[in-house]
Amino acid sequence: MPRPVRSLRSPRAIAGVAAAVVLAALAAVLGAYTARGTASATALEGLVVRVVDGDTIHVRIGDRTEKVRYIGVNTPETHHPRRGVEAGGREAHEVNRQLVTGKRVRLELDVQERDRYGRLLAYVWVGDVMVNAELVRLGYAQVMTVPPNVRYQSLFLARERDARQSGRGLWRGA
């Protein structure tokens, strides 16, 4: 006696296909998230050779030097051609210099790796301290969210709120 042919329209077959699709989608999402979060996939290491201002540094990576702009934060200007030195600019520059000058750093990249000026965009780590977040916590940088680089936006916003409420750095007397 011939075996009956199973229909792909049966509830069991549909459930099996749906489960396979869901598992494949979940694996793709988790795989992308994991790859994005690993140091080897998104990080570079180098030595800070110059501090330009409160949110820009030069880092020697191997045999080249990269101009690096901190992601997610903005500090008052110290070299702007039209605005000159803004209030708090020198202080932010000095705090940044104290945090990174001559130190080995890990540059954690996000979705967009360079800005329109060709600068490498990064979250800058000295050991286990993220300099971007530390500048905000100390009150010398404000949050500046520029999608798609938003990985630490909620952390930065919480640190800024705390710095404002505590009157630290640029928020002193505000």
Check whether residue 13 and residue 93 sit in a common domain: no
Catalytic entry in 69, 137, 151, 159? 69
pLDDT of the residue at 87: 72
* DSSP assignments along the chain, one per residue: -PPPPPPTTSHHHHHHHHHHHHHHHHHHHHHHHHHHHSHHHHEEEEEEEEE-SSSEEEEEETTEEEEEEETTEE---SSBTTTBSPTTHHHHHHHHHHHHTT-EEEEE--S--B-TT-PEEEEEEETTEEHHHHHHHTTS-EE--BTTB-TTHHHHHHHHHHHHHHT-GGGTT-
Mean pLDDT of 63-75: 98
Catalytic entry in 50, 97, 119, 164? 119
Query: Which position has the higher pLDDT, 19 or 68?
Result: 68
Check whether residue 159 and residue 85 sit in a common domain: yes
Check whether residue 81 and residue 101 sit in a common domain: yes
Mean pLDDT of 54-70: 98
pLDDT per position as a tens digit, 82-94: 776 667 789 999 9
Is residue 29 predicted with pLDDT exceeding 70? no
Catalytic entry in 77, 91, 108, 134? 77
pTM: 0.74
Check whether residue 60 and residue 18 sit in a common domain: no
Check whether residue 87 and residue 33 sit in a common domain: no
Is 119 a known active-site residue? yes
Is 86 a known active-site residue? no
Is residue 2 one of the residues assigned to a domain?
A: no
What average pLDDT does the structure give for the chain?
A: 83
